[in-house]
Homo-oligomer: A and B are copies of this chain.
Amino acid sequence: MDKPRDVTDSELAVLDVLWNQPQATIREITEAIYEDYSPSSHATVQKLLERLEAKDCVARDRSGFAHRFRATIERSDLLDRQLEAVADKLCEGSLTPLLLHLASRTKLSDEERKLLRKLINDRT
């Protein structure tokens, strides 16, 4: 029952590229993140992808010469994970206190308030 490691800021940058551009190669990702492409930044991205793969956030297609990567989680999945981690840490795993806490201190526009009411009513 080992706690899944958090996704790092650098790793998130890689995921961001992958969300915009699925099936990217390491070179493409590197060029998107670092302004100057170099063998070492290429290797850095390689290592980040390797770790993201270990965290089940990325899948690798080995069929071509240069491997192609895609994200296996969406941004909202990651949000879920993070919120669950907070809930585990501070609310015995329950998300409800988070929701109530946020509802009591977040300023909402009329628009958002309306949407939120709808969301609540739709849940059975």
Contact A79 B83 (CB under 8 A): no
Looking at A35-43, A49-57, A109-117, the stretch in contact with chain B turns out to be A109-117
Question: How many angstroms from the CA of A112 to the CA of B100 in the assembled complex?
Answer: 8
Contact A76 B103 (CB under 8 A): no
Interface range, A side = 35 or more
Q: Does A32 contact B (CB under 8 A)?
A: no
Interface string of A99-124 (1 = CB under 8 A from B): 11111111110001101110110010
Contact A116 B91 (CB under 8 A): no
Partner of A108, one of B9, B83, B96, B105: B96
Name 20 extra pairs, CB < 8 A, besides A12-B90, A78-B90, A120-B120. A75-B90, A79-B90, A79-B97, A80-B105, A95-B102, A96-B108, A98-B98, A99-B106, A99-B116, A100-B115, A102-B102, A103-B103, A103-B116, A103-B119, A103-B120, A104-B119, A106-B123, A113-B123, A117-B117, A117-B120
